[in-house]
Amino acid sequence: MHSSTIKKMKTSLNEVVNYHLKINDVDYFMNDLIDKKIKISWSGKVICSCGREMKKFYRSGFCYTCYWESPMASQSIFKPELCTAHLDIEERDIEWERKFQIAPHYVYLANSSGIKVGITRSTQGVTRWMDQGASQAVILAEVPNRRFSGDIEVCIKEHVSDKTNWRKMLSGEPHSIDLLEIKKTLSEHVPENLKQYICDDNSITNIKYPVLEYPTKIKSLKLEKIQTIEGVLKGIKGQYLIFEDGQVFNVRSHEGFVADFSVSSSNTQSSLF
């Protein structure tokens, strides 16, 4: 990864989530920049994870070749129920797929904009929830490979969404949900042969975000459209920077963009977080 490209913010769970943005060899502690003016300027170039530089990505953050050939962009990445590495069947690169798929995974329930189901590698659990802006989360099942988590998710998403409504997520804290009650109900929909993986651990992870002001009217900013984003940061939730006037910037969806990041020194107000 090039140091000049945008990468998703690193998170850690504290009283509020702590965010770090590393770009051009500087590590910005983003929580300290809340209520300060920041600026992101795009160079007009993007760099794919394979190293190719271009004006824009072909699709989903990949160049044409990677989108059609890389195991990171295969069908099973978008549809885990299509994973076959545990059966030793190759999709694009069996070595890579074994490492990625044959590892413990969680099926979780989270509340970010209402209840949703999702899957993640078990080492990524809390990170995934913070990236999605979830306020509460609980593990529904822990399985030995990605395919099983996909099989469970397919059954559960007949009953609850598998998507986050990001506008709703960014417009405030969601109503608290009794995740354990929902876990109990949804556990009945786990396929019989996978019920053994339902997780006994019922601990709920609660997550708070450094947000001074939630926007009332949300406008999503895209570097392809405006090249330079400048404004006072009012909060961070999920992978979104929330600016004054309801403008929001999804850091993650700009991964690979070659950009400059700076903090305006004129505003010296101290942050509350």
Which residue number, 69 or 244, has a Cβ lying nearer to Zn ion? 69
- Give the residue with the Cβ less far from Zn ion, 51 or 188: 51
Measured from the CB atom, is 57 or 166 closer to Zn ion? 57
- Cβ-based burial of 203 (10 A; exposed 0-12, middle 13-18, buried ≥19): exposed
Count of residues that interact with Zn ion, criterion CB under 5 A: 5
Q: Write out 234-255 in H/E/C secondary structure.
A: EEEECCEEEEHHHEEEECHHHC
Q: How far is the CB of 64 from Zn ion (least distance, A)?
A: 8
Q: Tell me the closest approach of the beta carbon of residue 254 to Zn ion, in angstroms.
A: 16
152/197 Cα distance (integer angstroms): 10
* Separation CA 215–CA 219 (nearest Å): 9
- Closest to 4 measured CA to CA, from 24, 20, 18: 24
Q: Is the dihedral of CA 35, 222, 127, 174 positive or negative?
A: positive
d(CA 141, CA 93): 27
Cα 146 to Cα 154: distance, rounded to the nearest angstrom: 12
Which two three-digit tokens encode residue 263?
């903090």
Under 8 Å CB-to-CB from 138, ≥6 apart: which residues? 108, 109, 110, 179, 180, 183, 202, 203, 204, 205
| Residues 134 to 173 in contact with Zn ion, rule: CB under 5 A | none
* Shortest distance, position 63 Cβ to Zn ion, whole Å: 3
Q: Please, what is the minimum distance in Å from the beta carbon of residue 50 to Zn ion?
A: 3
Smaller CB separation from Zn ion, 14 or 75: 75
Q: Which of residues 91-120 bind Zn ion (CB under 5 A)?
A: none
6 vs 66, beta carbon nearer Zn ion: 66
Least separation in angstroms between residue 32's CB and Zn ion is 34
66 binds Zn ion (CB under 5 A): yes
Instruction: State yes or no: residue 26 binds Zn ion (CB under 5 A).
Output: no
41/253 with CB nearer Zn ion? 253
- Segment near Zn ion (CB under 5 A); pick from 6-14, 65-73, 124-132, 183-191: 65-73
- Amino acid in the structure at residue 108: Y
Q: Which of residues 34-63 bind Zn ion (CB under 5 A)?
A: 48, 50, 52, 63
Q: Which of residues 200-259 bind Zn ion (CB under 5 A)?
A: none
Question: Least distance in Å: CB of 72 to Zn ion?
Answer: 9
Binding site for Zn ion (CB under 5 A): 48, 50, 52, 63, 66
